[in-house]
């Protein structure tokens, strides 16, 4: 998903005015102009800025532990998920996240937070490319992904990723 679209969707979900995103010439990073007229750059900063302005600030966590964990996952998103360029990168990310979600429904706490939304946006392009067989390898991550995409306000215009529930392939390596 392109950054532009992601910010539009996020703003839509949050119920805030759509930001005017532009790319800064020197570093080729996405930027917005804050209400104070300052230039703000980068995926994480802009996502947090938009959430902070909205009525859903609890998506950023309601205590220091939660907000730190959310920051951790936003960082993971930019450092690993956005840097998937080849198959081995992808496998590593999917394996990592599958393990994390083995005992959890959401990345942080017991509810949807900006961590889930951001990782969902980041993983979408990867998931559409996976075969059923591959998706079944990452059962926990697939379960989580399916749950998040069923929040219509989060998915918006993104295509639905189909998961087979018949579990035809019993070769899962759990």
Partner 1 sequence: MSIPFAVADMASGTLYTYAGNFRAFKALIAAEYSGAQVRVVNGPPEFVFGETNKSEEFRKKFPLGKVPAFETSDNKSIFESNAIAHYIGNDQLRGETALDQALVIQWISFADHEILPSACTWVFPCLGIMQYNKQATDRAKEDITNALNVLNNHLLTRTYLVGERITQADISVCCNLFFLYEHVLDPAFRKSFENVNRWFTTLVNQPQFKKVIGDFKLCEKMAQFDAKKFSEFMGKESKGGKKESKPPKEGKSLKEGKKEKEPQKKEEVEELDETEKALAEEHKKKDPFDDFPKGTFGMDAFKRVYSNEDEQKSIAYFWENFDKENYSIWYSEYKYPEELSLVFMSCNLISGMFQRLDKMRKNAFGSVCLFGEDHNSTISGIWIWRGHQLAFELSPDWRVDYESYTWTKLDADAENTKKLVNEYLAWEGDFGGKKFNQGKIFK
Q: What is the DSSP letter of 37?
A: S
- Say if CB 81 and CB 122 are below 8 A apart: yes
Cα(50)–Cα(168) distance, integer angstroms: 42
Nearest to 9 by CA among 170, 120, 85: 120
Which one of residues 106, 126, 132, 134 is an interface residue with partner 1 (CB under 8 A)?
106
Interface with partner 1, residue 105, by CB under 8 A: yes
Interface with partner 1, residue 57, by CB under 8 A: no
Which one of residues 22, 49, 80, 163 is an interface residue with partner 1 (CB under 8 A)?
163
Cα(97)–Cα(85) distance, integer angstroms: 17
Which one of residues 110, 131, 157, 173 is an interface residue with partner 1 (CB under 8 A)?
110
Which one of residues 62, 72, 102, 156 is an interface residue with partner 1 (CB under 8 A)?
102
Judged by CB under 8 A, how many residues of this single chain contact partner 1?
Answer: 20
Least distance in Å: CB of 143 to partner 1?
A: 5
- Say if CB 48 and CB 74 are below 8 A apart: yes
| Burial class (CB within 10 angstroms; exposed 0-12, middle 13-18, buried 19+) of 53 | middle
Interface with partner 1, residue 142, by CB under 8 A: yes
Query: What is the binding site for partner 1 (CB under 8 A)?
Result: 102-106, 109-111, 139, 142-144, 146-147, 150-151, 153, 163, 165, 167
């Amino acid at each position: 998903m392109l950054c532009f679209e992601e910010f539009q969707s996020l703003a839509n979900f949050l119920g805030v005015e759509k930001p005017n995103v532009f790319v800064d010439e020197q570093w080729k990073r996405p930027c917005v102009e804050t209400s104070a007229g300052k230039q703000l750059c980068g995926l994480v900063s802009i996502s947090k800025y938009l959430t902070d302005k909205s009525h859903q600030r609890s998506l950023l966590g309601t205590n220091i532990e939660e907000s730190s964990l959310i920051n951790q996952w936003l960082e993971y998103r930019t450092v690993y998920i956005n840097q998937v360029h080849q198959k081995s990168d992808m496998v590593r990310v999917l394996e990592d996240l599958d393990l994390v979600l083995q005992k959890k429904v959401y990345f942080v706490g017991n509810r949807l937070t900006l961590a889930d939304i951001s990782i969902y946006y980041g993983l979408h392009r990867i998931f559409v490319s996976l075969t059923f067989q591959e998706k079944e390898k990452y059962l926990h991550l697939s379960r989580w992904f399916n749950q998040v995409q069923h929040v219509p306000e989060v998915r918006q215009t993104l295509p639905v990723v189909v998961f087979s529930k018949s579990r035809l392939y019993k070769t899962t390596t759990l």
